[in-house]
Amino acid sequence: MLPIIAIDGISGAGKSSTAKRVAAELGFCHIDTGAMYRTLTWAALQKGLRPDQTAELGKLAQSLRFEFNEENRIRVNGEELDPHIRSPEVSAQVSTYCQPIEVRQAIVEQQRKLGHSRPTLLEGRDIGTVVFPDARWKFYMTANPETRAKRRVLELKAAGIEASEDEILQNLLERDEKDTNRANSPLRKADGAVEIDTSGLTMDEQVSMISRLVRRDLAV
Ligand code: DC
């Protein structure tokens, strides 16, 4: 089995913040795969591409060179695109633009390359089911909608983006629906994944649930 930690789950369940800390504690590289689909969406909107232009979107996805620097911040073709890729406009469109098979193939290929190069934690929707079904550790994170919306508003605020809780809640529910019901790589709990409901958990608790399990296996 590959030394890969796969963390999947619904939008806003706390995957990114948890993943960042777990990866730092364990010395794993951290790949936020949602940021890759957000970048594709941002670039497509800049170019005025529609979601049904799937061949063009596939080519665009192939032209994006993703790197994650020492702080695990995403760079694309040498540029930092945060916080543009977190804007409400991109959030509203990403679940549509990420669907074409041409887009997914191009992005999954890069995820596999990045993951094979060193011990890596990848977080997303299809890591344990499609990208790395052989991952040694798999987790599936959930939380109730209100908790998720509250957390997302705070995260965005910290990044300098104002948004209302209602608007965020609506966006999260729409994305859950699209991510779960799409034809290609729908969001599912992978076989053997450990489910973590983070609604009543603190960040420290979430982090230690994952780190403890991985450390226990690495000590053997
Ligand atoms: O993790 P996030 O909320 O930033 O992800 C944004 C969108 O990208 C999400 O709504 C669905 C898509 N996504 C995906 O299809 N597959 C992944 N592995 C990660 C994200």
Produce one character per residue of 9-43: b if its CB has 16 or more CB atoms within 10 Å, e if not. Answer: bbbbbbbbebbbbbbeebebbbbbbbbbbbbbbbb
What does DSSP assign to residue 193? P
Tokens of 73: 């911040």
Average pLDDT value for residue range 19-26 = 96
Average pLDDT, the chain: 94
Confidence band, pLDDT 50/70/90 cuts, at residue 220: low
Q: How large a percentage of the chain has pLDDT more than 90?
A: 86
Nearest to 11 by CA among 194, 166, 179: 179
Please report how many Cα atoms fall inside a 13 Å half-sphere around the Cα of residue 176, on the Cβ side.
Answer: 18
The model's confidence at residue 124, banded by pLDDT at 50, 70 and 90, is very high
Mean pLDDT of 198-207: 96
- For residues 183 and 2, which has the higher predicted lDDT (pLDDT)? 183
Contact 57/102 with Cβ under 8 angstroms? yes
Assess contact for 30 and 68: CB atoms under 8 A.
yes
CA angle, corner 151, sides to 147 and 157, nearest 5? 150
Atom of ligand 1 nearest to the CA of 37: 8
Output the CA 195–ligand 1 centroid distance in Å: 18
The verdict on the CB of residue 91 being under 6 Å from ligand 1 is: no
**pLDDT digits over 36-79, tens only?**
999 999 999 999 999 999 999 999 999 999 998 877 789 999 99
Percent of the chain residues past pLDDT 70, beyond the cut = 100
Query: How many other CB atoms are there within 10 angstroms of residue 216's CB atom?
Result: 9
Least confident of 31-45, 74-88, 98-112, 193-207: 74-88
Read off φ and ψ for residue 30, nearest 5 degrees. Answer: -115, 125
Confidence of residue 94 (pLDDT cuts 50, 70, 90): very high
**Full set of structural domains in the chain with CATH:** 2-219 (3.40.50.300)
Confidence of residue 23 (pLDDT cuts 50, 70, 90): very high
Which residue from 30, 33, 39 has its CB within 8 A of the most atoms of ligand 1, so it is best to mutate?
Answer: 33
Most confident of 157-161, 167-171, 216-220: 167-171
CB of residue 95 inside a 6 A radius of ligand 1: yes
CA of 91 to the centre of ligand 1 (A): 9
